[in-house]
Amino acid sequence: MSTNENAREVTVRYFAWVREKVGLSEERVTVPPDVKTIGDLARWMQSRGDGYASAFAKPDAIRAAIDHKHVQALTQIGAAREIGFFPPVTGG
């Protein structure tokens, strides 16, 4: 399997109902070169199977973090080591 020089491997973690719908809490993902932003990644996730399609059906309902910091849909993935997807938080 050839690796595009722009493809990146990142750890992706899922929480709460995103985790339940995806059916995984964590995985290593090879991000295609045309996936530049968090929003791109959320939309690309929809194509990865029924669980993902359900979890990411409404990207606006999902929040994300890069390397443990909250980010927006337009944030570049850049050199992210870990990306988290989760619903709006409900602690406290």
Partner 1 sequence: MSVSVQEADFDLSAEVAALSDADTGIGAIATFIGKVRGEAHGNKLQSMSLEHYPGMTEAELARIEAAAVARFHLTASRIIHRIGALQPGDNIVLVIACAPHRHNAISACDFLMDYLKTEAPFWKKETGGDGHGSWVDARETDDAARSRWHSGDA
Contact set with partner 1 (CB under 8 A)? 13, 15-17, 65, 68-70, 84, 86-92
Give the shortest CB-33-to-partner 1 separation in angstroms. 27
Nearer to partner 1, 2 or 69 (CB): 69
Q: Is 48 helix (H, G, I), strand (E, B) or coil?
A: helix
Give φ, ψ of 36 to 5 degrees: -100, -40
Nearer to partner 1, 15 or 44 (CB): 15
Neighbours of 86 (CB within 10 A): 16
Nearer to partner 1, 35 or 65 (CB): 65
